Amino acid sequence: MTEWHLDPALEEPHYALQAHLGFKMVAWTEDFSAFELPLAPHLMNRYGIPHGGIYATMLDTVMGYAGCYTGDPEDVRLAMTLSLTTNFLSRPRGERLIIEGRRIGGGRTTFFADGTVVDETGELVATGSGTFRYRARK
């Protein structure tokens, strides 16, 4: 199992969607972030597996955070998604999703990221890629 690193000083309050879905950040470092999501009935589609929108939401979130790390809780960086591609590969066999995102390139105003969704058994469930634009800092 991966050993996560999350500086407690960088933990942010849960926003409404995060609280509703039930995911939490477990790692955040330069060009990387990871979240975990316990599977629950409100996340499932009519087939009894997580709705594809859950994977897209989690990939969007994890990749966005991967590109916004500053290491300073007073220096919050935000980004908006310009493009998001999600590939649905399998269904989870376990009870918890592990979502990882990596910033893979970019520049001053735009960045690119890749992400994966696996369960705790190692089953690769989905992948994604995205293009993000940094928001102007206040």
* 4 assigned to some structural domain: no
Q: 107-121 in b/e burial notation, b at 16+ Cβ within 10 A?
A: eeeebbbbbbbbbee
pLDDT of 1 over the 60 cut: no
- Domains of the chain: total: 1
Mean pLDDT of 42-55: 96
Domain boundaries, position 103 = 18-134
Q: What is the pTM of this model?
A: 0.93
Q: Is the CA virtual torsion 97, 26, 100, 13 positive or negative? A: positive
Q: Which amino acid would we find at residue 75?
A: D
Q: Is 55 domain-assigned?
A: yes
Q: Does residue 131 or residue 137 have the better pLDDT? A: 131
Asked if residue 13 belongs to a domain, the reply is: no
In a domain, 6, yes or no: no
* Residue 2: inside a domain: no
Q: What is the pLDDT of residue 8?
A: 85
Does 3 reside within a domain? no
Tokens of 130: 């995205």
The answer to whether the CB of 79 falls within 8 A of the CB of 63 is no
Q: What band does 2 get if pLDDT is binned at 50, 70 and 90?
A: low
Predicted local confidence at residue 92, as pLDDT: 97
| pLDDT band for position 6 (cuts 50, 70, 90) | confident
CATH number (domain holding residue 117)? 3.10.129.10
* 9 in a structural domain: no
CA dist 1 and 66 (Å) reads: 20
Better pLDDT: 136 or 24: 24
Task: Give the residue-averaged pLDDT of 49-73.
Answer: 96
Tell me whether residue 8 is in a domain. no
Checking if the pLDDT of 9 tops 90, the result is no
| Cα–Cα distance measured from residue 66 to residue 28, given in angstroms and rounded to the nearest whole number | 7
* Mean pLDDT in residue range 52-77: 96
Question: Please, how many CA atoms are within 13 Å of residue 132, restricted to the half-sphere of its CB?
Answer: 29
The reported pLDDT for the residue numbered 96 is 97
Confidence grade of residue 5 (pLDDT, cut at 50, 70, 90): confident
